[in-house]
Amino acid sequence: MKVSFKINGKKSAVEVPVNRTLSDVLRTQGFWSIKHGCEKGSCGNCVILFNGQAVNSCIQLTAQAEGAEIETYEKYEKSTEYKLLQEVLMDYVDIECAYCVPGMFLSLKALLDKIPDPTEEEIVDALAGHICRCIRDPLPVHQIYDAIKKVRGKF
């Protein structure tokens, strides 16, 4: 089946079997920020923005992406607007790993698009579906909250 969508603002069309997951298709197109993890939608390592919503691409069929707007971490990895937020996440994880950072970042980006001034509880909720093996407990919610405030110019 042929599926057309926008990926990071560029039109794309792929020919795929109806049962092919979006994570597999996007990785074959070179979007390496989409990580393999649980393959069941529970670890958050494959999160993308799908029509503005953070979704686990490992359980999203490519056929469902017809006409969709998809964003991956590659769109934002060099962004200066979110640099502080990215630095907080990188400081939090083991720098040699950072496997979970793209998915966590996109979940936070979706949150900020919906709620520009989130509470710490809303940040916790946005990151609830993410599991990382190298993570230092607890989640750096206060640091993320402070970074968001700085990004939004509220300090």
CATH class of the region 83-151: mainly alpha
The answer to whether residues 26 and 58 touch, using CB atoms and an 8 Å cutoff, is no
Peptide bond into 118 cis (omega under 30): no
In this predicted structure, the answer to whether residue 155 has a pLDDT above a threshold of 60 is: no
Which tokens belong to 124?
Answer: 């916790």
Choosing among 3.40.190.10, 3.30.70.1520, 3.30.930.10, 3.10.20.30, the CATH entry for 2-75 is 3.10.20.30
Spans of all domains in the chain: 2-75, 83-151
Confidence grade of residue 95 (pLDDT, cut at 50, 70, 90): low
pTM above threshold 0.85: yes
Lowest-confidence segment of 17-31, 74-88, 98-112, 137-151 by average pLDDT: 137-151
Which tokens belong to 134?
Answer: 């190298």
